[in-house]
Structure 1
Amino acid sequence: MAQPGERKAEGVLSPEEALSVLEAQAKRGETLLASQASLEPEVLAYLARNGAEATRRAVAANPATTPEANFLLATDSDEEVRKNLALKIGRLFPGLLAEEEKQLRDMALATLEKLAQDQVSAVRAVLAEEIKSHDCVPKSIVKALASDTDPSVQMPVIEYSPQLEDEDLIQLVVASRASKILSAVARRKNLSGDVSEAVATTLDTDAVAALLANTDATIRTKTLDKIISNAAEVAEWHGPLVVRADLSPNAIERIAGFVGSKLIDTLAQRSGLDESVRGELKRRLDEKKKAEAKQDGAESHSETPLTGGALTEAFVFNAVEHCRKDTVVKALALLAKTGEDNVRRILSSQSGAAAVSLVWRAGLSMQVAYRLQVQVMRLSGISLVPARNGSEFPLKSDEMRRQLGNYGIA
């Protein structure tokens, strides 16, 4: 052994280093042991109480862990332990409910309830993803997850859970203004006419587009007529509308009145059309092609300020009023000195506060911000953020900077 003051031989571990290596090897061995499905339940229970974090994570993921130990781990201080447990319990829950002993079934249910109430949304999100298609999960838990404050928790159960009935879904639609939540409802299999009508009534751009694209959704004629009446300036709805199999001849002719030439051509290719309808579509196709040729020339001229350095408020306001979304995106990106993707994210967010903040950053007026919400984002009612005192921005500078920060705009 090296004496005090002597240099340690190269490659020789000090007592402290040797102990550290032994402890690390012991922990690795303990973790490996904790992952063995053949391990005695008593040993797993001991490791759940006394193991290091890595060991407890392995115990949480081990399907052989006892219900009592699972319940203990549901309140573990380590988030990864609880996420591993949520993943396992979610997957195994149908089998756990089949246990012969009522005490074991009750313990499994108590663990599920505890995880569904976890303070960390990432844990709840893991659980929601795993139980989303189970029909054996108590409805109270499903409804709690569907009403969560985090969309990543809500969306899986809203879109897939067989436990949610029409009344539950309609309540979610009425209560939520979040486009992601409405779209999750719209994507459900075998969507009823009542729920489809509730989604359509919101006129949410993404949700209605998802509804139209859902071939399993029942959309009544009255509901479809309402969508068509509002679809002219919502380009995102045009493609899904055109390929709906349940369009009446009248609906087809109405749609042909506002979609582009390529989509009119798609309508004309539908099988089973009356010759009179097909002839009308051909006439409209010719008219649309001529109109598009003229418009291409006009838009080419209108885009000049985007490259010529002459961007004005009047130019942006005009683009907003005519819902020229691509032009609006490019203009706001240039003026706000941010990427076009950031602008698109804000415009699709359904957040009036974010839109107002973006226009403020771009150096434009609150009048532009308000019209942007109405014309481009299609917001209405309580979703709109109006001006203060008729023309002033209603949010404080710090709040608008915070809003922009949510979208990566510093």
Structure 2
Amino acid sequence: MGGTLTPRTSEEVKEAINWAISAQEPLEIVGNGTKRAIAPPRQTAYTLDVSGHAGIVAYEPEELVLTLHPGTTMRELAEAMEAKGQMFAFEPPDLSPLLGVDGGATFGGTFATNFAGPRRLTAGAVRDHMLGVHAVSGRGETFKAGGRVVKNVTGYDLARALCGSWGTLAVATELTVKVLPRPETEITLLLTGLDPERAVAAMARAMGSSGDVSGAAHLPADVAPDGIDGPVTALRLEGFGPSVAARRDHLSKLLAEHSLSVLEVDASRALWRAVRDVTPFVGTPHVVWRVSVAPTAGPEVAAAAPPGSRILFDWAGGLLWIETPAVGDGGEAAIRATVMASGGGHATLIRAPASLRSAVPTFQPTAPALEALSERMRNAFDPQTILNPGRMAR
């Protein structure tokens, strides 16, 4: 026995979860499943597919607030915001091509994973833009936190806590998120010929200046997109034209010892889409890691990657996308040991063959104190482990 439950309303989500509790049948929670491959297959007979619980509930462009159901696709939201000259400031990545899957990513999946793109460096992650959430817990109880205005902070931290929990605590049924105006224009300054250590130093210098850099990445020669001679260190400037021009001149003087060139708006946007979606690693058979560390530790972690690895630095060196050969543990021991030795962070296994994924934990093992806190959260929200059992254990 088994099957897929397909609720289309919040009440139907609650009914499905209460049925699962009474039947003691754990549920795998999915939307369109574009990030499903990141963790091993769930050992559940039933799937709760919330992709049908979709649609924009309310969009108030003048208030910079958007309310939606979890199955709403990111494409639909992007089109609605584009018409109003607005965007999600956290620049959510589309990892579908990287993972080799079809289907449109949903906001529910974006909320569940808390994945953000290059602008995370200055704008924050998904959780930093959440205003409110309605959800059903693993107890079968409906609750809400926050609201539709920034000043309504009742339960605000709870909404942030659920973001990034991978559907293990509750199933969101309605989400309210801040949006921001889309920049009028952008350019990217390119610094060429730097090794990772010098690149991180240059990015730190730029980020610490008045240049208001919204993206800082380093692409070694074997990772640079077509048409760009690497290695290149990219610094993005966004905003009104005169402001962008003034900041370009400021950074050009600040970094005058480096070889500099400029990507204009179309080429700049193409470059940052490639960084955001990890395009250089699309279509290869290799393992892909997503590693978050202090920016100064980025070169050290990169140096620990197995021979034959390719590496893309984002977040001024604080986020590394590492592609390793699909042999042995895929570099797990070396990468995670270096992450911990460098002061801590997270190495998440994003893509791997099934055999390697079954043997290597998806998430960085957590410290005992943090694991105890997480366990208390799970017990509070889902004491019978009905929702996505084991999703974050590996």
The two structures have a TM-score, normalised by structure 1, of 0.28
Higher helix share: 1
Which protein is bigger by CA-based radius of gyration? 1
More strand, by proportion: 2
Tell me which of the two structures has the higher relative contact order, counting C-alpha pairs closer than 8 angstroms and 6 or more residues apart.
Answer: 2
